[in-house]
Structure 1
């Protein structure tokens, strides 16, 4: 059975950012923290039969902005989870946080409540770019939040940083990255802004850098991160050795995860090898309605869809892909993958040995084309 993680979704945030397509809701009349924590724990109880008695290797509390909850509520939530399911000895527990002053002041309370990793949504360290992104914090608050994260007692912290922002020049992007590196986070998520459907940016698209500028930013930023001691282990993630996000690694390695909270997704392998996908009720009002079930969708992943699902996740990583893992995680014979990958190997997008596959530099550059071969 694959390792098991838990994703917890807290959907509220102070305001909706124009680029955000996550299931998030701006706070209008307060947050029903106690009722929502109760609902999350009840949701978890209902999912436990799907977990197969496994202990959790990681927990990720995402959103929205989970740091709008009080430290007491997060502590009660984590204590309730521990009462219902086992924790591994070295469990990683991540909470996404806003760099705003009010949330940053809670960091020590989150750590005392069981959180051992913070992920801080900085996005940029330049005031004009933050304004364009609809962020409610300024550069000084972001830097202060990073300093507090380094001192509050968590094992490590991540900074989320975007590039390819409206009107961004190469020197702007590199200055953001230099300031983030100076904060000495163990992990940096550095990803390009994309315009997603059903967002404010989709209806009123900003002017983004051209392809040549985007490529120059990626190349120069990559070299800057390597020189600072970070290693790229995933398409948009860099970490110092030993500080890769274990929760995210479990996603990309096609591990299992419970998903609780509004709109949360789960993937769960059953004893007979069947793989289930779960989706919870999306809107807070429906999720908190005691007359409704938390489960919105429960579907079996069909065998013909498994190669695409496996490789769509696995090929985001820069590490080797063990052939034995493909068989173990999908239950499919190795021959099925070899037929699908033959053209990619022939085109130089992947290399193959007796024991593993490896995506080449060309394969990572044209990953979407590579993944299309599985459709």
Structure 2
């Protein structure tokens, strides 16, 4: 953590009037560099998928049950052999020091304090060993996972995996939906580039590639395939989850390869614009898996009711992305902890109002079918 964060006079405070996580967004935007905001909060193309993620959760209607016993209720879940206080994890997000000087360290501490899971990005702006050391021995913390992209050289991927294992991470999350970056117009208009002192400190610098007119000649050589997934699974002792699955056929192939779980994700709308929203993709993936794998989802989740809807559609847990960054930018670790607490509290309220004493009571019958 930065020395400034320990100074009582400079200690961040939660602004007055914060009632839900959306209230953090204007405060975060005020505090962040406009180009960094465009990078962290923008999407690809016309940002249709970015908007659709949110709109799809809003469009779902709940069909609550009443007069059901709620004594001794609990929002906890089991996930990959770990007990979580609630089905909330922090999604992997790059370069969090763009939002706050304390970066990923603050986010990890806040997640641990709230019993939420933390997925550290391969493009973190702080060393994975340092982040893990802050929280791995904390009692009551959620699971600590590491997200990675396959590197151009398998030896470099293996080196990163071995560091992850040694640092105490408990699972690997392989992002599979980004063989190239999306065409992010907002980011390009803002002229975003990483400022001095912020970089992907856990990755080896990549040599520049000669530019050619053939896009596929540049991308295909490094784009991962199912063979790479099989290799990675054999190269690590950690459970391997795939993040970025939207098509049921890919879910079935992942199941056949023996991965430990799937994350339904469209990269927060940052890669392929007009890709299906995660709320629409989720039930199809759940049907394809038939409960055979842990299933998580991200993209547009802002309310506790969204979490309940996700579980009703077949997810076992959800990942929160941009709201965490908004809390971080506004009030550091305190802001992140508050965001996580707000969503958890709303989720527990939604459970009670839908007649669910425990997560196992949440099922598809709570979603009103479209007319």
TM-score by length of 2: 0.37
- Between Structure 1 and Structure 2, which shows a larger proportion of strand residues? 1
- Between Structure 1 and Structure 2, which shows a larger proportion of helix residues? 2
Q: Which has the higher contact order (CA 8 A, sep 6+)?
A: 2
TM-score by length of 1: 0.37
Looking at CA atoms only, which structure, 1 or 2, has the larger radius of gyration? 1
